[in-house]
Amino acid sequence: MQREPYQGQVLRLDITFPITCRVTYRGRTLIVFDRHASSQLVSAFKGYQGQEPRVARYIFVGLDANFSPTIEDSPIFPEIVQYLSYGVGYWKETKRHHPFLSPSYKKGSGYRYHYQFAKIGLTPDYADKVSFVELLSCPTCGKTEEKRFMELLDGDYLRRLDSLVGSSENARSIFIARGAYTRLYAIGKAFGCFAWEQLRVRLKY
């Protein structure tokens, strides 16, 4: 007889307010993927990071802007707020394109994405030319869970993003992360956007 997942096992479910859901199983705590609960982070987040997308020369498209659920307690949180307020100035001042590369950050949520990006070798001279946009319009926490990810998608935001990357108004190079790339077809079908023949994709990374 096949055993159901977690049958007979003890799980502890902790919910804190603002809502962050943690499931504890066999001593391991898992953060349930969702919109980030930090009001400060949500308030500072403008829907993009770095340069404003409509004037950027290089646009990097990812899944979501993912942060630790306890990011407000991190020593880099003031840097996060500064960066989200004016990412161009932050990059030029610190010589780092993102606070996740700060020596004070212990390689938590989001580190790998920006560590990989740094390997491209762009200098602070590119600060006013690079924009990071995501398929979700809100900051998140936890490991991406497909059903909740689809529920958090904003149709109006996606159609604006589609118009931006497909526009011929300004010459741009669009870079799409693998995780975002593999979901574009399903998202486009669900929301009526991202027609492939309109995308001028230069490179996937």
> Could you list the residue range(s) of the whole structural domain that residue 159 is in?
38-204
Say if residue 134 is in the same domain as residue 63: yes
Q: What is the 3-state secondary structure (H, E, C) of 61-94?
A: EECCEECCCCHHHCCCHHHHHHHHHCHHHHHHHH
pLDDT at 197: 40
Say if residue 50 is in the same domain as residue 150: yes
pLDDT at 113: 86
Say if residue 7 is in the same domain as residue 108: no
Say if residue 47 is in the same domain as residue 15: no
Say if residue 47 is in the same domain as residue 8: no
What's the structural domain count of the chain? 2
* Among candidate residues 62, 78, 51, the one with its CA nearest the CA of residue 137: 62
Say if residue 146 is in the same domain as residue 74: yes
Say if residue 25 is in the same domain as residue 72: no
Say if residue 91 is in the same domain as residue 23: no
From first to last of its 205 residues, the chain has per-residue pLDDT tens of 444 444 444 434 343 434 444 444 445 445 789 999 999 999 999 989 999 998 999 999 999 999 988 899 999 999 999 999 999 999 999 999 999 999 999 887 788 889 989 999 999 999 999 999 999 999 999 888 999 999 999 999 999 998 887 665 666 788 888 889 888 888 988 999 887 544 444 444 4
Say if residue 48 is in the same domain as residue 118: yes
pLDDT at 85: 94
What's this model's pTM, rounded to 2 decimal places? 0.78
Say if residue 45 is in the same domain as residue 22: no
Sign of CA dihedral 201, 139, 137, 184: positive
